[in-house]
Structure 1
Amino acid sequence: MTSSPGPGAPVFATLGCRLNLWETEAMKTLAAQAGVRDAVVVNTCAVTAEAVRKARQEIRRLAREHPGARIVVTGCAAQTEPETFAAMPEVSLVLGNADKMRPEAWARLAPDFIGRTERVIVDDIMSVRETASHLIDGFGTRSRAYVQVQNGCDHRCTFCIIPFGRGNSRSVPAGAVVDQVARLADRGFAEVVLSGVDLTSWGADLPGTPRLGDLVLKVLRHVPSLARLRLSSIDSIEADPKLMEALATEPRLMPHLHLSLQPGMISRSSA
């Protein structure tokens, strides 16, 4: 998905998951606050080799469509393969997954910093202990909004590169989640999707170790104007009793689950 704002404003292209959609909206605000102009930002995915190939393809396409613009590559593929994208002649900057949510990184792209920005800004994602809680106002013309409540993953499945792109599991505090959902509901969004890399691990790093069911019930209780609440992919084995009760009894919580079945499929095939 590519956004096309007014002349001179940054162009954003988003590949991959719902989390990337939310982070792109947050980056738009950070770029605007920093005064970034004439840039193309590609928020990449690394879930498969094909996703990385598509990211390179998208970069080349955008370079042709926006001659002279600085191309910034960020997202999971930028985090896991910074040298791949830094070697592309079309790319001006490779920005890591943690760095893309930091205002100071965007300040380096503002007009006054032209020519003084390093080519690669990618920190150790495993050292990150908090996840972003930026407040955003919307998703363009979309009627459904996404809210990041969790990032990273503590599992180390042999087939999955995502922890190395996203880091260890980190949760957004419940109060910040409620504030974001209320903000979106006040702006007319009828449906909000709670999103994360390992959504059912939400709360394990917070005081009192609340569970995802606690968060769902708190959002529904404190944002009565929200018509529908939905969950993104979950690990079914980590679903807690309050979450299952909410699915059975809360009419505003959509009773549809996208289950991550790859681990079970691999175990079955290797048995």
Structure 2
Amino acid sequence: MSAEVVSLGCRLNISESERIREMLGAESEVVVINSCAVTSEAVRNTRQAIRRARRDRPDARLLVTGCAADIERDAIAAMPEVDGLIANTQKLDPRAWNVPAQPEPVPAQRTRAFVAVQNGCDHACTFCIIPQGRGPSRSLTIPQVLQEIERHMAQNVAEVVLTGVDVTSWGHDLDGTPPLGEMMQAILGEFPELGRLRMSSLDGIEIDPLLFELFAGEPRLMPHLHLSLQHGHDMILKRMKRRHSRADAVTLVQQLRTRRPELAIGADLIAGFPTEDDAMHAANLDIIAELGIVHGHIFPYSPRPGTPAERMPQVDRRIVKERAAQLRAEVARVRDDWLGSLIGTDLSVLTERDGSGYSQSYARVALPEGTPAGSVVTMRPNRIEKGLLL
């Protein structure tokens, strides 16, 4: 039995949790909560996970790491269930866990591998606390990325997902400031047997020309672009201190779709940001259809202590929740139309252990009973049920 690691929040945390689990190995009496602090709700979820873990494992040593362990350090440390904290910047260092340094362990066999190529963030979005928990942007070099992917390829993973806090800032701190597209091209060249390479959330304004060309025409780079969009109105984007405009996002998607019509768009959108009026919310709502956002992550704004947005005029909480619900409903409508367009078409589906799978464009498909996990199969869906293609 190995250590138990509970991962909350982003895909980067998922990747780091896997490494922590590998490092701790047979430390079976240890439970680790890899926490999130992106919103106040995320911090509440972290506290709930800590209490649940203590109830389930009363005799285990319970350690907390992740963003909440740094940003909410005193409050988390004061919880009676917690035995210790590991700093976010040290959580991949064996010395922080009091375990011996060993050669890189063989990763657990997974259908897909999450590979963290970058950490930290140099930006100062007014709603975001994460730079305080993750520190400045730091990149793996191309040889380090290739080495990490090679470890997973030895386990026959079918898909590699590149993650980070601000992935499109990869390379800014490396000699020569290589663009992200250069690293992507190196991966595809080094591993011709890798059939599926996927990106996590990207800042569209920083997509370099080479990465654009790969998204537009490289079949092994999945046709699934998730944008760190945040809002559809320029004034709110300015107050968020985002670096793109609505027009920037629309132009990017239109240009890519011209080259690759099957491209599926995802986006993060915040509802009820401070000062948002009805017209601004309407712009946020209608950008969903304009971009064809089929993978929407909707966040009702909640003030984070220590951020500039906390000091701005707030929108009533009831209105924030109503607007978030409207955004989710619009994403669901656009998504249903998109799923309907896939009925009767052949999809390349990566099968999971839970009886579902994901197409290249990240459409979720329910698998026929007995379909082996970890394989790529061609399927032709004939109906939709509860948001799943069947």
User: TM above 0.5, one fold?
Assistant: yes
Equivalent of 1:105 in 70, 81, 96:
96
- The 5 A counterparts of 1:179-218 are 179-218=147-186
| Secondary structure of 1:194 counterpart | strand
- The 5 A counterparts of 1:55-70 are 55-70=46-61
Tell me if 1:147 matches 2:115. Answer: yes
- Shift of the 135–237 alpha-carbon distance from structure 1 to 2, 3 Å rule, reads farther
- Shift of the 96–181 alpha-carbon distance from structure 1 to 2, 3 Å rule, reads same
Equivalent of 1:258 in 219, 226, 251:
226
| Secondary structure of 2:49 counterpart | helix
Aligned to 2:6: 13
Amino acid at match of 2:124: R
TM-score (normalizing by structure 2): 0.58
CA distance in 1, matches of 2:169, 2:75: 31
Amino acid at match of 2:96: A
Which residues of structure 2 form unaligned runs of 5+? 239-275, 281-390
Residues 213 and 243 of structure 1 are in contact (CA less than 8 Å); yes or no, is this contact kept in structure 2? Answer: yes
| Secondary structure of 1:193 counterpart | strand
Tell me if 1:30 matches 2:23. Answer: yes
Tell me the CA shift for residue 94 of structure 1: 1.2
Larger Rg: 2
Tell me the CA shift for residue 264 of structure 1: 5.4
Tell me the CA shift for residue 182 of structure 1: 2.2
Equivalent of 1:267 in 233, 237, 241:
237
Aligned to 2:357: none
Tell me if 1:138 matches 2:107. Answer: yes
After superposition, what is the alpha-carbon deviation per residue over 1:99-157, rounded to whole angstroms, capped at 9, x for unaligned? 2111111117x9xxxxxxxxxxxxxxxxxxxxxxx9564355x4111000000000011
Residues 171 and 203 of structure 1 are in contact (CA less than 8 Å); yes or no, is this contact kept in structure 2? Answer: yes
CA distance in 1, matches of 2:158, 2:142: 20
| Secondary structure of 1:101 counterpart | coil
Aligned to 1:90: 81
Tell me the CA shift for residue 37 of structure 1: 4.3
Higher-RCO chain (CA-CA 8 Å, sequence separation at least 6): 1
Q: Pick which of 195-204 and 175-184 moved more.
A: 175-184
CA distance in 1, matches of 2:166, 2:231: 13
CA distance in 1, matches of 2:232, 2:139: 25
CA distance in 1, matches of 2:104, 2:17: 12
| Secondary structure of 1:146 counterpart | strand
Tell me the CA shift for residue 263 of structure 1: 5.8
Residues 78 and 85 of structure 1 are in contact (CA less than 8 Å); yes or no, is this contact kept in structure 2? Answer: yes
Residues 135 and 180 of structure 1 are in contact (CA less than 8 Å); yes or no, is this contact kept in structure 2? Answer: no
Residues 200 and 239 of structure 1 are in contact (CA less than 8 Å); yes or no, is this contact kept in structure 2? Answer: yes
CA distance in 2, matches of 1:162, 1:197: 9
Tell me the CA shift for residue 30 of structure 1: 2.1
After superposition, what is the alpha-carbon deviation per residue over 1:65-100, rounded to whole angstroms, capped at 9, x for unaligned? 111111101101101111111111010001110121
Amino acid at match of 2:55: R
- The 5 A counterparts of 1:162-173 are 162-173=130-141
Tell me the CA shift for residue 191 of structure 1: 0.4
After superposition, what is the alpha-carbon deviation per residue over 1:204-229, rounded to whole angstroms, capped at 9, x for unaligned? 11111101100000000001111110
| Secondary structure of 2:228 counterpart | coil
- Shift of the 17–137 alpha-carbon distance from structure 1 to 2, 3 Å rule, reads farther
Amino acid at match of 1:138: P
CA distance in 1, matches of 2:28, 2:86: 17
Residues 228 and 252 of structure 1 are in contact (CA less than 8 Å); yes or no, is this contact kept in structure 2? Answer: yes
After superposition, what is the alpha-carbon deviation per residue over 1:31-62, rounded to whole angstroms, capped at 9, x for unaligned? 23xx6441110000111000100110111111
Q: Pick which of 185-194 and 235-244 moved more.
A: 185-194
CA distance in 2, matches of 1:196, 1:144: 16
**Larger relative strand fraction:** 2
Residues 204 and 210 of structure 1 are in contact (CA less than 8 Å); yes or no, is this contact kept in structure 2? Answer: yes
* Root mean square deviation of aligned Cα: 1.9
Aligned to 1:78: 69
CA distance in 1, matches of 2:133, 2:22: 23
Residues 138 and 145 of structure 1 are in contact (CA less than 8 Å); yes or no, is this contact kept in structure 2? Answer: no
CA distance in 2, matches of 1:58, 1:73: 10
Tell me if 1:242 matches 2:210. Answer: yes
Q: Pick which of 82-91 and 259-268 moved more.
A: 259-268
TM-score (normalizing by structure 1): 0.82
| Secondary structure of 2:65 counterpart | strand
| Secondary structure of 1:168 counterpart | coil
| Secondary structure of 1:259 counterpart | strand
After superposition, what is the alpha-carbon deviation per residue over 1:168-222, rounded to whole angstroms, capped at 9, x for unaligned? 0010001111111122122110100111111111001111110110000000000
| Secondary structure of 2:34 counterpart | strand
